[in-house]
Amino acid sequence: NAGVMQNPRHLVRRRGQEARLRCSPMKGHSHVYWYRQLPEEGLKFMVYLQKENIIDESGMPKERFSAEFPKEGPSILRIQQVVRGDSAAYFCASSPRERGGRALDTQYFGPGTRLTVL
Amino acid sequence: AQKVTQAQTEISVVEKEDVTLDCVYETRDTTYYLFWYKQPPSGELVFLIRRNSFDEQNEISGRYSWNFQKSTSSFNFTITASQVVDSAVYFCALSESYNTDKLIFGTGTRLQVFP
């Protein structure tokens, strides 16, 4: 009965490198959300995905950031050419909400990936 | 626009004291959901409670209680007889039913409980 899994838990990159963050939702959950938490701040929504679809990416920076949730495998948040300002904790959450369903289901969060850009 | 305000940045109490964390929200929707999450020093986010806008009944779970008042757009969280293990950052969040369920978080309140 595993919860949301994220790896790696800690990631160190040098400026200009790529960062790949992985998220495996809870069993039975088909909806994934990514949030970013900058130091000493609250969480900010980045993107909402269902299997093979991006539903809402209104919180994603326009450049260098991308996300996917393939039919098989974990969701990936990819940051290209990282800069120091990308240093943050990145949280993934999942929920079982069905497409078209009215009820809002709770989002359960993973432990986060702490990205440090040197 | 949707907004969540947690005016208390940091609160310090001594064990066994009661403490209330404030949360004020803004939304244009009549149907919405409010949440509280706990972030202990280890960094993960722990779900505490979800409340929809139609249910204004207060809720109690052990030492935790929540007071939802639509008239003042507040959803306050009280810990009774606080313990050192309650030390954490607590986030209040809002989601609107017509939206894609994304959560709008407050900036959090850091609670320190001293022995």
**pLDDT tens per residue, range A72-81:** 899 999 999 9
pLDDT score at A104: 61
Q: Which residues on chain B are in Cβ contact (under 8 Å) with A107?
A: 47, 101, 103
pLDDT score at B100: 64
For residue B98, pLDDT beyond 70: no
Percent of chain A whose pLDDT exceeds 70: 92
Q: How confident is the model at residue B99 (pLDDT cuts 50, 70, 90)?
A: low
Taking CA atoms, B102 is separated from A61, B35, B74, in Å, by 16, 12, 20
Mean pLDDT of chain A: 90
Q: Per-residue pLDDT tens for B37-64?
A: 999 998 889 999 988 888 888 888 899 9
Which residues lie below 8 Å from residue B79, measured CB to CB, with a gap of 6+? Answer: B18, B19, B20, B21, B63, B64, B86, B111
Mean pLDDT of chain B: 92
Q: Per-residue pLDDT tens for A38-72?
A: 887 789 999 999 888 998 999 999 899 999 999 88
B37 touches A109 (CB < 8 A) = yes
pLDDT score at B15: 97
Q: How many Cα atoms within 13 Å fall on the side-chain side of residue A109?
A: 26
| CB-based contact B103 A91, cutoff 8 Å | no
| CB-based contact A111 B50, cutoff 8 Å | no
Probe site for chain A from B35, B98, B103, B110 (most A CB atoms < 10 A)? B103
Q: How confident is the model at residue A99 (pLDDT cuts 50, 70, 90)?
A: low
Phi-psi sector, A28: left (phi>0), alpha (psi -120 to 50), beta: left
Pairwise CA distance, residues B65 & A76, whole Å = 37
pLDDT score at A40: 76
Q: What is the mean pLDDT of residues A18-40?
A: 92
